[in-house]
């Protein structure tokens, strides 16, 4: 039960953007996802969340480091194991309009993978399972949805069809990439509730990728949140702990920027005076800690020179910050 289904060990991914010019979209990220666990990846646009998600589902290969599925490096899987991995770890994309075939009815959209992968046989059996799947994602009455085309559904309903399609192959991990960002807030929350129910019912592990820390907090309240900045993981902790006691100054800044009236967040809210509002380009990354040009705590002697490691602390938190490390060392004395 406690064994990770997915494990990233020091995973990096570079992309060539010009001749002889590469950016590191993901830099030395390590994390684990266990059965039935919820983990949210949070960070500003372009910080490497989607690339991390794509490496987890095997759509993008790491430039270095390893991705383990059930303890085995996915680059070493044989054909049969790779197929099991690709079915077991599913991704739900940002824009379901673009990812659903407009000429397929919802029934066809769900029946095709069921039949193709041999999960059902015969029309009756397939129809029963399609209805079951639609009900699982709260698209009811299912009979009224079956013959519709994607354009006849609302944005929220299309998102649910995308989730149902991912479930056709009975995965153990779902990577939901900003799956709710295209629809408005009440619908976003309702879809997150459906995902939480699926987690309970199926023991599904969910990695939810969002730039919205308030949403991550809502979704991952029983799970963990990982905060990314310019390709690196800067803090991972249980969602409650991370919101109640953010350690990394970037996490503090993200929390302080949440405008909504959220009592858990506003209670803890500290005003963070960033030294700069500009996010550096991945093409010209600052030396040392890449957050140092914006960080209110920065110490030129170390932060500009040395890349901070993500340190595991005894309370279960992981933080990559020289100043936090120094303070914790002093407190421990």
Q: Which residues make up the interface to ligand ATP (CB under 6 A)?
A: 15, 17, 23, 25, 43, 45-51, 211, 282
Backbone CA torsion sign across 73, 75, 79, 82: positive
Q: Whole-number minimum distance, CB 47 to ligand ATP, in Å?
A: 4
Q: Which is nearer to ligand ATP, 49 or 217 (CB)?
A: 49
* d(C-alpha 153, C-alpha 161), whole Å: 10
- Shortest distance in whole angstroms from residue 91 CB to ligand ATP: 12
β-sheet bridge partners, residue 4: 34
Closer by beta carbon to ligand ATP, 23 or else 303: 23
Task: Pick the closer one to ligand ATP by CB: 7 or 178.
Answer: 178
The distance of closest approach from Cβ of residue 175 to ligand ATP in the complex, given in angstroms and rounded to an integer, is: 12
Min CB(177)–ligand ATP separation in Å: 7
For residues 51 and 126, which CB has a smaller minimum distance to ligand ATP in the complex?
51
Cβ 77 to ligand ATP shortest distance, Å: 23
Burial label, 78 (beta-carbon count in 10 A; 0-12, 13-18, 19+)? exposed
Tokens of 168: 């056709």
Smaller CB distance to ligand ATP: residue 66 or 95? 95
Are the C-beta atoms of 191 and 159 separated by less than 8 Å?
A: yes
How far from chain centre, in Å, is Cα 187? 19
Residue burial 202-236, b: 16+ Cβ < 10 Å; e: rest:
eebbbbbbbbbbbbbbbbbbebbbbbbbbbbbbbb
């Amino acid at each position: 039960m406690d064994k990770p289904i997915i494990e990233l060990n020091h995973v990096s991914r570079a992309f060539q953007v010009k001749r002889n010019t590469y950016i590191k979209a993901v830099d030395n990220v390590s994390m684990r996802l266990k059965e039935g666990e919820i983990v949210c990846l949070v960070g500003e646009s372009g910080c490497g969340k989607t690339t991390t998600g794509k490496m987890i589902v095997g759509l993008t290969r790491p430039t270095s480091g390893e991705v383990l599925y059930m303890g085995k490096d996915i680059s070493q899987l044989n054909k049969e194991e790779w197929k099991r991995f690709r079915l077991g770890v599913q991704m739900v994309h940002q824009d379901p309009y673009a990812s659903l075939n407009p000429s397929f009815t919802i029934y066809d959209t769900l029946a095709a993978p069921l039949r193709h992968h041999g999960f059902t046989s015969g029309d009756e059996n397939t129809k029963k399972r399609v209805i079951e799947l639609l009900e699982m994602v709260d698209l009811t009455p299912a009979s009224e949805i079956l013959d519709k085309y994607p354009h006849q559904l609302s944005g929220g309903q299309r998102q649910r069809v995308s989730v149902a399609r991912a479930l056709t192959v009975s995965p153990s991990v779902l990577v939901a990439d900003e799956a709710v960002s295209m629809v408005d807030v009440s619908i976003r929350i309702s879809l997150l509730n459906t995902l939480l129910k699926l987690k309970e019912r199926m023991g599904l592990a969910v990695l939810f990728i969002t730039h919205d820390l308030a949403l991550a907090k809502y979704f991952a309240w029983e799970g963990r949140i990982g905060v990314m900045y310019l390709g690196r993981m800067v803090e991972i902790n249980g969602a409650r702990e991370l919101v109640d006691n953010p350690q990394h100054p970037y996490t503090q800044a993200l929390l302080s920027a949440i405008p909504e009236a959220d009592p858990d967040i506003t209670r803890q809210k500290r005003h963070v005076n960033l030294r700069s509002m500009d996010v550096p380009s991945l093409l010209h990354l600052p030396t040392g800690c890449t957050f140092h040009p914006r960080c209110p705590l920065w110490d030129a002697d170390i932060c500009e020179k040395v890349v901070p490691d993500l340190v595991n602390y005894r309370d279960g938190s992981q933080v990559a910050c020289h100043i936090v490390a120094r303070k914790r060392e002093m407190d421990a004395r």
